[in-house]
Structure 1
């Protein structure tokens, strides 16, 4: 299941957990020529479908691509409409995520939920620097409000630690997060949560975005406190920037889909 979730391209395209390597793999596959002119959304039996020249789009698994809200369907239709003479799947992150949800996540939502819980048991937000003082303060400023929100929302308690040594979290807290996730186990929502979680290393940030507690841009910034600190002091390079931009594209696509689901 983890392999499938990492494979946002789906179908027969090559896959890699790293978004930049996935994009590079895509370049090895000749781009298909755009085969349609008109893109529109239309009512479907279980929501809204995307039509290309009047014909409904199907997933690589040959399942009707249907979304529960018109707003969500428009995210996909806009990606199809934005294609040029060649179809570039790397520029269609919402479509790839929807395909993954329909063809993969829908068949085993429990496995995806459990994977998110594994992240929650060792969440980025638990592990703090002990120095320098400014970095410690930045982490607290970005992360403590999310910890406090989870405590208020779910009544959970977490152990915070300095360094990277694993700290066992209370079973009751992880169980409460699991119960919270089970109320959100629709395949599309769960797939989007998994993408945000795996990209940031934080299930707590993903859940804060999903609940509307945190804006996506703020969550992205919070997930990169350490990385931004290192960039400020040691600089960056073009490959690192490309990897980060690719991850952010997928993160924002997942958050857009969650918002569109309502």
Structure 2
């Protein structure tokens, strides 16, 4: 039953842009305001991309000029604003909220703060805890989670081990070092995206697998909810509640992955341009 549910969910993907509350991004509780602009566009200034609303520059909640390094990201955010109808529903603008958080950094996080948070999260990763008390679920976890853990260990040169009881999983010291080294290669802006992805899935392993394109966002969400989906297979599901929750998680994760890829590519291009300038200076 659960296999049919997963197959059905993967073949009927619906992208929802509703944003649930999360500590890592700005929350918007105010009522929707009336749309006050007609057109949105982007402009390039000081090697960054800005969003304009009828020639007025978009600003962050703290009053800073809204600027991003990636043109595709700027276009996607401008599309979020342009897709608003009579009112502006900020809760449906996931990329805008995520970028605002990275720009304003309201909690004053450093790279080390986010890396340490993700490392501590990895020690209690969702897919490292297997449930032997439910034989059918345990079989399903081995079938669907084992390949993800094996991929992660091979990709990041770690040796993460699952646990079959209440004891914590084996999390070797070298795993922390390898994960930390990988995360440090990214900018602070990008790490905000990593944090949002991990918080969405409650799993570093699944988030990394999705970001590295080993699995799709919808599959990552289903694997993070495997035990819940198993129980729903027995007791039934309420479509307006359970399906909406699943679609919301898919939207949040998809936005986080897109945000990370846009920032990572931009950083790579900038680094490459700098290296070319350095080589030219030598000669």
Separation of aligned partners in 2, 1:42 and 1:164 = 54
- Is 1:178 the counterpart of 2:219? The answer is no
CA distance in 2, matches of 1:182, 1:220: 26
Q: How does 1:211-222 map to 2 (within 5 A)?
A: 211-222=212-223
User: Which is worse superposed, 133-142 or 226-235?
Assistant: 133-142
1:103 alignment partner in structure 2: 104
Q: How many pairs does the alignment contain? A: 242
State the SS of the aligned residue for 1:49: strand
Are 1:146 and 2:163 matched, yes or no?
Answer: no
Partner of 1:58 in structure 2? Answer: 59
Bigger mean CA deviation after superposition, 151-160 or 165-174: 165-174
Q: RMSD value over aligned CA atoms?
A: 2.2
Q: Report matched runs for 1:72-87 at 5 Å.
A: 72-87=73-88
Q: Is the 8 A contact 2:160 2:170 kept in 1?
A: no
CA deviation map 1:71-127 (0-9, x unaligned): 111111110001111110111011001111111177522212211111111111211
5+ unaligned residues in a row in structure 2: which ranges? 1-20, 266-283
Note closer, same or farther for the CA distance 1:214–1:244 as it changes in structure 2 (3 Å cut): closer
The worse-fitting range, judged by mean Cα deviation, of 138-147 and 222-231 is 138-147
Q: Does 1:246 align with 2:263?
A: no
Conserved? CA contact 2:102–2:189, under 8 Å: yes
Q: Which moved more, 1:80-89 or 1:237-246?
A: 237-246
Q: C-alpha distance in 2, partners of 1:35/1:85?
A: 9
- Which secondary structure does the structure 2 equivalent of 1:6 belong to? coil
Q: What do residues 129-155 of structure 1 show as CA deviations (whole Å, max 9, x unaligned)?
A: 214443223222322222112221221
- Contact 1:5–1:191 (Cα < 8 Å) also in 2: no
Structure 1 residues 43-52 or 226-235, which shifts more?
Answer: 43-52
TM-score by length of 2: 0.78
TM-score, length-normalised on structure 1? 0.84
Separation in 2 of the partners of 1:40 and 1:191?
25
How do 1:135-214 and structure 2 match up within 5 A?
135-184=137-186, 186-214=187-215
Tell me which moved more, 75-84 or 233-242: 233-242
Q: Which runs of 5+ in 1 are unaligned?
A: 14-25
- Report the alpha carbon displacement of residue 227 of structure 1 after superposing the two structures with TM: 1.3
The equivalent of 2:95 in structure 1 is 94
> Counterpart in 1 of 2:25?
8
Deviation string 1:223-262 (CA, Å, 9 cap, x unpaired) is 1211110110112334444444333322222122223333
